[in-house]
Structure 1
Amino acid sequence: MEATKPGTSFLKKVLAIILGFGPGIFAIGYTIGTGSVTSMIVAGSKFNMQLLWVLLLSCVFSGILMFAYGNYALITSETALYGFKKHLKYGKVLAILIIIGITFGQWNSLMGILGISSNIIFEILVLNFEGLGPFKYETVLITAIVIIVTFYLLMLVGKYTFFEKILVIFVTLMGLSFVLSLCFVQPLSIDVVKGLIPTIPNVPGGKMLVAAFVGTTMASATFLSRPLFVKGKGWTIKNLNQQKKDSITAAILIFAISATIMAVAAGALFYQGKEVTQVLDMANTLEPVAGKWAVTIFFFGALSAGLSSIFPCLLIAPLLVADYQSGELDTSSLQFRIITAIACLVALIGPVFGANPIEIQILSQVFNVFVLPVVIIGIIIMVNSKKVMKAYKTGLFVNIGMCAALLFSLIISYNGIMALTEYF
């Protein structure tokens, strides 16, 4: 037999680690989409690394909540909304309100994601075919239709493992693209340290961006869908330790990738006094600093981020409805096909009306914040109920973390209300 080359062996190990990633990959898919990329770029270009502390806190609390929801699923063999309906007083009403709130936020987000992804593809096409320039609206709309129809067809044939593998590819490409972009432009080290000191930019749009940050990083959809993905992976009570590691790894990767995007925007734009309001702004300002290669790499990362979010955003409504009904998701059911078809049509609203996808994206992230406190209160009650959790006792550190996350979410929700009153 031929000896395996050391390089090949190392690549196989890396590939095995990437493909072995658990339900946390869906957390990254939900969290780091074009919404997150947009928020990070706008924040980095406007405020340098000043909002890094918001990102850090959001990721710490996200890790704790993913862990709590995952443990709940493994110990009780129930999913979140089904558990709320079954065990909580007024649980039915609460679960229905959560489904409406999260679906509204995620479908709005889907509009922005599709708009930004189609715009990115248009800009790449224009670089090679200049004649397309005058036909921006038509090209963006046709691209959006092709993307959403392709994803819908993939949804109809897919199972959990299929979605997971596609997300692994997109998330890996996204992470590598943004890390490579950081090699071309970096912020000053002192600015990174200052960014860990809590401050809110006292400028128009500052509050809105803080709320958008939390809305995209501490996404309620991520926690509520975790029990279904944990069950989809085939994990049981024997996998508690694996579930814990998966939650921590997902939270660390979300922070690392998001902070990298913010740092690229700060390094390329903030020091030149340039802000981002359109998709192309990032490329136009990055090119003189880092060259065409950097622009291509960054665009590729942003596109991967968008495409990695389309699956989870299309999945969220049927997931939540299935969760409420029985805790089982049947991707071959008529209900699944109808709900995902409606989501696809909603996604096309932004491109059809030619709306600015960046504005849609940031607004949709702000709306996500308002469901968050309810989602946290629900899991705090559930994991501390002896009737529900039986012999298992939730640790003091996890309870402190969840209560701190609740306080943080209430402050950010208030901040979001203030931001929206200023905006409208």
Structure 2
Amino acid sequence: MENPVAKTSFIKKILALVLAFGPGIFAIGYTIGTGSVTSMIVAGSTYGMQLLWVLVLSCVFSGMLMYAYGNYALVTGETALYAFKKHLKWGKPIAILIILGISFGQWNSLMGILGISANIIFEIFLIYFPSLADYQYELVLTIAIVVIAVMYHFLLIGKYIFFEKILVIFVTIMGLSFFISLFMVFPLPIEVAQGLIPSVPQVEGGSMMVAAFVGTTMASATFLSRPLFVKGKGWTIKNLKQQKKDAVIAASLVFIISASVMAVACGALFHEGQPVTKVLDMVNTLEPVAGKFALTLFFFGTLSAGLSSIFPCLLIAPILLSDYQSGELDTSSKQFKVITAIACLFALIVPVFGANPIEMQIVSQVFNVFVLPLVILGIILLINNTKLMKEYKAKLLLNIGLYAALFFSCVISYNGVIALIDYF
């Protein structure tokens, strides 16, 4: 006979393992949102696995940057922008430029995230109540208002541990949904191998997609916010090894989940010649190829990705401002409440005007690459400062990786400028 105590104990151990995940959960929340999912779906359905090499490089560099920013925080006790302002020449204007650039990019992403999430919930309702099709605009807008209001309420009552647990739930559902979907619809091994060879699609929108890939995977917000989340976790210099492990796991999971989404879109849609341009395209094209169960799983994962990103996107502006001012985040302050309320209203722009959230999402991801070189250069200067880091100063291998990331980010930023000029 099965022992119920042993069964309960096993479930508790699993939950404890999941909840033990550190600040890396916020990295996944920032990185794998509907922006990332949308980019992966559009890329996989339009170009197959051709851009897999971009994803690999972005995740490797992201892991290094998370590790570098986390180490700096544990060794010095300082957060990123506060350290820029305090220790770097021209640090104040650089920090302000970074705050404006990242907040603009994340708030633009937030519009697309909320629009896609509301549309997905509407499509789920439509499966059971087809008569609602005539009221799409009104219902999508109502759903968007309800979702953002609930998220704002959670922000006002929550602390770090609360945010972390909410994100763990969403990210776990998202990861499992996409990973299981991969076993039902997958690309050919040769396509995966060819995707590791650097190349840019020589078609309209190809350059923008490369920039969007990097903008969503190497998200500056992920690195700059890490010191605050490391401090919020209560980690100290004794947790250096744990911090490194957390960064590696976070970067690895970002790659696995993102590659799974791209692979599902490639396997199901690319060979059918059906690129995704609207939220409804995901339903119409995936269902006949993947079946209802895989479709439901994929949609559930996409919705979880959206909901897991709303939290970090709402948090980013007050986090960066608090970082610049004092290095401490006070979620009960008037400043926090006002800024997050403005972000919530900003998020409703796409639902209110009925714009195409997928197109908005792709364009908004491109904006994220422009401050990336500054964010990388800043941490290179800080972790090589012997006075600040002492014996924990960056070693040769990390420096090689960070300078490679800086060169990569400069190339992609230039590519993003050209893509946006062509777009507008």
Match of residue 104 from structure 1:
104
Aligned CA distance change for structure 1 residues 4 and 48 (closer, same or farther; 3 Å): same
Q: Does residue 70 of the first structure (1) align with residue 70 of the second (2)?
A: yes
CA deviation digits over 1:332-361, x for unaligned, max 9?
Answer: 000000000000000001110111000110
Give distance in 1, aligned partners of 2:197 and 2:376. 25
Match of residue 394 from structure 1:
394
Give distance in 1, aligned partners of 2:307 and 2:85. 33
Equivalent residue letter for 1:361:
Q
Q: Does residue 46 of the first structure (1) align with residue 31 of the second (2)?
A: no
Equivalent residue letter for 1:52:
L
Give distance in 2, aligned partners of 1:172 and 1:283. 23
Equivalent residue letter for 2:363:
L
Map 1:223-262 to 2 at 5 A.
223-262=223-262
- The alpha carbon displacement at 1:6 in A equals 6.5
Give distance in 2, aligned partners of 1:14 and 1:179. 18
Match of residue 361 from structure 2:
361
- The alpha carbon displacement at 1:413 in A equals 0.5
Map 1:255-404 to 2 at 5 A.
255-404=255-404
Q: Secondary structure at the match of 1:391?
A: helix
Q: Secondary structure at the match of 1:29?
A: helix
Map 1:100-179 to 2 at 5 A.
100-179=100-179
| Greater Cα shift, 289-298 or 229-238 | 289-298
- The alpha carbon displacement at 1:389 in A equals 1.5
Give distance in 1, aligned partners of 2:152 and 2:175. 25
Equivalent residue letter for 1:338:
V
CA deviation digits over 1:179-206, x for unaligned, max 9?
Answer: 1211221100110111111111100000
Match of residue 218 from structure 1:
218
Match of residue 94 from structure 1:
94
Q: Secondary structure at the match of 1:235?
A: coil
Equivalent residue letter for 2:32:
I
Identity %: 73
Q: Does residue 25 of the first structure (1) align with residue 25 of the second (2)?
A: yes
CA deviation digits over 1:127-152, x for unaligned, max 9?
Answer: 11112101100000000000000000
- The alpha carbon displacement at 1:7 in A equals 5.7
- The alpha carbon displacement at 1:394 in A equals 1.0
CA deviation digits over 1:368-404, x for unaligned, max 9?
Answer: 0000000000000011011221332211111111000
Q: Secondary structure at the match of 2:201?
A: coil
Match of residue 82 from structure 2:
82
Equivalent residue letter for 1:382:
L
Equivalent residue letter for 1:352:
V
Equivalent residue letter for 1:325:
Q
Give distance in 2, aligned partners of 1:265 and 1:8. 38
Tell me the TM-score normalized by structure 1.
0.98
CA deviation digits over 1:46-90, x for unaligned, max 9?
Answer: 110010000000000000000000000000000000000000111
How many residues in Structure 1 have an aligned counterpart in Structure 2? 423
| Greater Cα shift, 292-301 or 24-33 | 292-301
- The alpha carbon displacement at 1:274 in A equals 0.7
Q: Secondary structure at the match of 2:63?
A: helix
Give distance in 2, aligned partners of 1:105 and 1:366. 8
Aligned CA distance change for structure 1 residues 374 and 3 (closer, same or farther; 3 Å): same
Q: Secondary structure at the match of 1:317?
A: helix
Give distance in 1, aligned partners of 2:274 and 2:159. 44
- The alpha carbon displacement at 1:12 in A equals 3.6
* 5+ long unaligned stretches in structure 1: none
Give distance in 2, aligned partners of 1:180 and 1:96. 42
Indicate the RMSD between aligned Cα atoms, in angstroms.
Answer: 1.2
Map 1:404-423 to 2 at 5 A.
404-423=404-423
Give distance in 1, aligned partners of 2:4 and 2:154. 36
| Greater Cα shift, 257-266 or 291-300 | 291-300
CA deviation digits over 1:283-304, x for unaligned, max 9?
Answer: 2111111221221111100000
Aligned CA distance change for structure 1 residues 260 and 89 (closer, same or farther; 3 Å): same
Match of residue 16 from structure 1:
16
Give distance in 1, aligned partners of 2:184 and 2:289. 8
Equivalent residue letter for 1:350:
V
Give distance in 1, aligned partners of 2:141 and 2:4. 49
* 5+ long unaligned stretches in structure 2: none
Q: Secondary structure at the match of 2:366?
A: helix
Tell me the TM-score normalized by structure 2.
0.98
- The alpha carbon displacement at 1:10 in A equals 4.5
Give distance in 1, aligned partners of 2:13 and 2:98. 41
Q: Secondary structure at the match of 1:49?
A: coil
Give distance in 2, aligned partners of 1:215 and 1:183. 28
- The alpha carbon displacement at 1:5 in A equals 6.8
Give distance in 1, aligned partners of 2:307 and 2:404. 33
| Greater Cα shift, 60-69 or 184-193 | 184-193
Give distance in 2, aligned partners of 1:364 and 1:417. 13
Give distance in 2, aligned partners of 1:144 and 1:101. 25
Give distance in 1, aligned partners of 2:259 and 2:93. 37
- The alpha carbon displacement at 1:280 in A equals 1.4
Equivalent residue letter for 2:300:
F
Which segments of structure 1 move beyond 4 Å, counting only runs of 4 or more?
Answer: 2-10
Give distance in 2, aligned partners of 1:82 and 1:247. 22
Equivalent residue letter for 2:339:
I
| Greater Cα shift, 390-399 or 248-257 | 390-399
